[in-house]
Amino acid sequence: MDFSAFDQPSSFVKEQLLISQQQVVKNNNMPLTKSGFTLIEGKLIVFAATSIFQANLEGSANGTMLFWRIFDKHVLSDLQERAGIKFSIEIIDSKQDSLLSLFSKNSYQQGSYRTENSEIFDFYPFISGGGGIKFSYHAPNRQFSTDWFNSSSLITLLLFLSTLLMLSMFFHYIVISPISKADKMVTMIIKNNNHKVRFSSDRKDELGTLFNLIDRLLDDVASNEQELISHNLRLQTISRTDGLTNIPNRRAFDLYMINLLETAILGEKISMLVCDVDYFKNYNDCYGHALGDNTLCLIADCLRKNLHEDTDFVARYGGEEFVIVLKKTNEIQANAVANNLVSKVRALKIAHKNSEVSEIITVSIGFHSFTISGQQDHMSFFELADRALYKAKDAGRNRASH
């Protein structure tokens, strides 16, 4: 239904019907609702408005959801048909003298809540500007006594109240209590992000169907969440693995050292080795990059196999350079490990006719040993091991140095 006052909200609609952020703040940032009657452009409007929030009720309100309807003769006719009562509605102007008397409920006159004219009415003021609407109904004359103070009336009243109480308790047990429990569980799920909660309802009615549907949705969420975690773990592994040699990459080395310096016991001996393939550029120029990549894979595999998986760490630092970390290893032990690795790579006997130190692939290794004493920067140790590598190269390559 088109209505200009709502299609392009007028100032009256914005100020009186819509819910502002200031009103929500005054309500402790909780959802706020308002409803009632008003006159807009000479038309009687019935409306209901509620502020819109995220599902977890966090953040500020995102606007107002407004339901409205022009209260015309068709609506009146429909309400009369539904109620089975021919009542009437009268718009009361704020300037009418009779307005003040309508603000009080119907007077108790001669044992009845009717006026002297057998009229039963109520008054609903407009949300602003004064005035309101009067609902009235002309009741038929009673064919019975209005004397409530007799035994049969009191017994009937007590029986009615007892029945009403039992129905209320039954309704609370069957409907209200399960819904309240469901509300608490859903709030816990949202607040604690706990997708393991389940209703596990045995009910066979509509609420049971709803609870079982929520359980199925939670199963799907938990399944998708687990799949997402698995994907993230795979992505983390990929991001920390060298794509060529399939050993850890430089990022993995940095993360490993940060964790090691934070968790290692004070006084523990650590050794860092930097390994470089001798004259590898000459090897690529002579044999091609494809064979060069294969050789790097063979060297990486050789280094990995000749280290202790539980205590040692090896990564490809970049190009033809590898970095090795040995826990609980002093300088003497590191020297033995480095010379053993030089020997193991040489034992691969990979032909390298353009090497200036040998006819096969060789490596040079520089190492540095240090003691854990609360350090936070690992690159200083790498630089010292790298300097030792250059000492090995200056000494003729195909060797280890510290």
- pLDDT of 146 reads 56
Closest residue by Cα to residue 71 from 136, 133, 137: 133
Domain spans of the chain, in order of start: 4-138, 151-228, 250-401
Residues of 360-396 as b/e, b for ≥16 C-beta within 10 angstroms? bbbbbbbbbbbebeeeeebeebbebbbebbeebbeee
Give the full edge-to-edge strand order of the sheet including 363-371. Answer: 312-318, 321-327, 269-277, 363-371, 400-401
- pLDDT of 13 reads 83
Question: Residue 273, exposed/middle/buried by CB under 10 A (0-12, 13-18, 19+)?
Answer: buried
Residues contacting residue 252 through CB under 8 Å, at least 6 positions apart: 240, 241, 315
Residue type, 278: D
Residue type, 359: E
3-state secondary structure of 85: coil
Residue type, 135: F
Task: State the CB neighbour count (10 A cutoff) for residue 243.
Answer: 8
Provide the CA 273 distance to its chain's centre, in angstroms.
Answer: 44
CATH number of 250-401: 3.30.70.270
Closest residue by Cα to residue 278 from 363, 399, 388: 363
Tokens of 391: 């000492």
Query: What single DSSP character describes residue 9?
Result: T
At residue 44, φ and ψ (nearest 5 deg) are: -80, 125
CB 339 within 8 A of CB 304: no
Per-residue pLDDT of the chain (402 residues; tens, 9 = 90+): 667 777 788 888 888 888 888 888 888 888 888 888 888 888 888 888 888 887 777 777 778 888 888 888 888 888 888 878 888 888 887 665 444 444 444 443 343 456 767 778 788 888 887 788 888 887 776 655 555 556 677 788 888 888 888 888 877 777 677 777 777 777 777 677 766 777 677 777 777 777 778 778 877 777 777 777 778 888 887 889 999 999 999 999 999 999 999 999 999 999 999 999 999 999 999 999 999 999 999 999 999 999 998 899 999 999 999 999 999 999 999 999 999 999 999 999 999 999 999 999 999 999 999 999 988 899 999 999 999 999 999 999 999 999
At residue 274, φ and ψ (nearest 5 deg) are: -115, 120
Residues in the chain: 402
Task: State the CB neighbour count (10 A cutoff) for residue 32.
Answer: 19
- pLDDT of 2 reads 67
Closest residue by Cα to residue 294 from 310, 302, 75: 302
At residue 396, φ and ψ (nearest 5 deg) are: 120, 0
| Angle 127-132-136 from CA coordinates, rounded to 5° | 135
Question: In the chain, how many H helices and how many E strands?
Answer: 13, 11
